[in-house]
């Protein structure tokens, strides 16, 4: 009986059931020093890894904050034109800010759709003249996206529109420099580059006739993806225009004529901070337009891009690299979403705080 009682007592003793290494070998055992050395080495490696992690997080925080501040200051304070002039002065006065013939959207020229062009909303087809900021319109991905602003809104403005007729007698009224998607291309091209016989995305409708008409009312809705469908979903169009008319491919070119980036992609990238502000604060981007019918931020963006087109080759390359870094980072933030961005800053704050403690 005494043996049985002893066994039961040991079974109920957690220290007896789970002996520690020091209990087995003794505190003075030869292996204890080795274990201590291994433990110390692991801790040092862990600390080094944490320091590297902390440095990376700090760098990411700094990068996001700096690029966000620069972009928001440039495009939300209405001083982009002044910034461009300052950069031009620093660069020795080369080039020049221009909104002349190379800019499809500058001056009083209309660069958009006619008042009668329709988009598909949740309530059915709506003409451009009745479309409002906040309405959802159909995109080529089969999704409805909010109109977060108008790139051009001039109800009383007059413009010359191309009338592009496709199979089934569908007619699209669009300004020559506006971008649309031709079949067989991954990026949009200027409307003036279309020819009879070309096919248009998304359904491959063939162009049967091209004419022109003079009308009143100029509209260009902006959506987050940068493209949408018009005229009962028969044509996929960009929200943007071709700023440089020297090339009909839809690409932006360096000063030496080398193509490097679709104009649609470049404009979409530059508008990222404006798009983020408009989608976050919906009331911020309503009702403020220049005499030409453009939001000040869009007009300033066009000024900068037009100015950049006049720069020498090397300055264009440097500016492109800076733009890709700054606006590329903002596009990543836009894609991940504000929730994940907040989580990143939470990690930054807590990681750095623990280190200082």
pLDDT in tens, 200-212: 999 899 999 999 9
State how far the Cα of 79 lies from the Cα of 72, in Å rounded to an integer: 10
pLDDT band at 183, cuts 50/70/90?
very high
Q: What is the pLDDT of residues 24-40, one digit of tens each?
A: 344 444 444 544 444 44
Does residue 42 belong to any structural domain of this protein? no
pLDDT level of residue 253 (50, 70, 90 thresholds): confident
118: number of Cβ within 10 Å: 20
Q: Is residue 170 within a helix (H) or strand (E), and if so which, with residue range?
A: strand 170-174
Angle between helix 263-270 and 313-336 (nearest 10): 60
Supply the CATH number for residue 107's domain.
2.170.16.10
In a domain, 92, yes or no: yes
Burial label for 247, CB within 10 Å (0-12, 13-18, 19+), is: middle
Phi and psi at residue 239, to the nearest 5°: -80, -5
56 in any annotated domain: no
Whole-Å CA distances, 105 to 110, 159, 289, 299, 301: 7, 12, 14, 8, 11
214 or 355, which is more confident: 214
Give residue for tokens 């044509």.
Answer: 235
What pLDDT, on a 0 to 100 scale, did the predictor assign at position 91? 30
Q: Where does residue 68 rank: exposed (0-12), middle (13-18), buried (19+ CB within 10 A)?
A: middle
pTM beyond 0.75: no
Q: Which tokens sit at 252?
A: 């932006």
**7 lies in a domain?**
no
Tokens encoding 248: 């009909």
Q: Please give the share of the chain, as a percent, with pLDDT higher than 70.
A: 62
The reply to whether 347 falls in a domain is no
Q: Which domain holds residue 214?
A: 73-341
The total number of structural domains that make up the chain: 1
DSSP assignments along 253-296, one per residue: E-TTS-EEEEHHHHHHHHTHHHHHHHHHSGGGGSS---TTS--H
Residue 152 is assigned to a structural domain of this protein: yes
Q: Name the helix (H) or strand (E) containing 313.
A: helix 313-336
How confident is the model at residue 334, as a pLDDT?
Answer: 77
Q: How far apart are CA 202 and CA 141, in angstroms?
A: 10
Give me the sign of the Cα torsion angle 142, 148, 150, 155. positive
pLDDT tens digits, 105-158: 333 344 789 999 999 999 999 999 999 999 999 998 889 999 999 989 999 999
Of 253 and 347, which is predicted with more confidence? 253
């Amino acid at each position: 009986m005494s043996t049985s009682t002893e066994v039961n007592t040991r079974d109920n003793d957690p220290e007896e059931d789970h002996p520690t290494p020091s209990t087995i070998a003794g505190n003075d055992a030869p292996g204890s020093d080795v274990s201590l050395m291994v433990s110390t080495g692991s801790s040092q490696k862990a600390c080094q890894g944490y320091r590297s992690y902390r440095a990376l997080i700090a760098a990411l925080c700094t990068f996001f904050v700096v690029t966000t501040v620069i972009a928001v200051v440039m495009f939300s304070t209405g001083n982009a034109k002044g910034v461009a002039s300052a950069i031009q002065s620093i660069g020795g006065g080369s080039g020049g800010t221009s909104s002349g013939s190379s800019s499809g959207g500058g001056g009083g020229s209309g660069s958009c759709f006619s008042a009668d062009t329709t988009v598909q909303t949740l309530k059915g087809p709506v003409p451009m003249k009745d479309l409002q900021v906040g309405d959802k319109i159909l995109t080529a991905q089969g999704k409805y996206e909010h109109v977060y602003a108008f790139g051009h809104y001039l109800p009383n403005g007059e413009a010359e529109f191309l009338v592009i007729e496709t199979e089934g007698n569908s007619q699209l009224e669009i300004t020559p420099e506006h971008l649309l998607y031709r079949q067989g291309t991954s990026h949009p091209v200027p409307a003036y580059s279309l020819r009879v016989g070309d096919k248009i995305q998304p359904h491959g409708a063939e162009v049967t006739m091209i004419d022109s008409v003079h009308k009143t009312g100029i509209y260009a809705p902006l959506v987050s993806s940068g493209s949408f469908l018009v005229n009962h979903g028969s044509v996929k169009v960009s929200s943007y225009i071709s700023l440089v008319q020297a090339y009909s491919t839809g690409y932006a070119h360096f000063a030496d004529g080398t193509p490097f980036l679709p104009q649609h992609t470049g404009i979409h990238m530059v508008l990222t901070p404006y798009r983020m502000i408009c989608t976050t604060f919906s009331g911020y981007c309503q009702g403020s337009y220049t005499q030409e019918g453009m939001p000040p931020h869009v007009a300033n963006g066009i000024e900068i891009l037009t100015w950049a087109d006049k720069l020498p080759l090397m300055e264009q390359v440097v500016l492109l690299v800076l733009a890709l870094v700054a606006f590329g980072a903002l596009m990543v933030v836009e894609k991940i979403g504000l929730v994940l961005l907040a989580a990143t800053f939470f990690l930054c704050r807590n990681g750095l705080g623990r280190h200082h403690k």
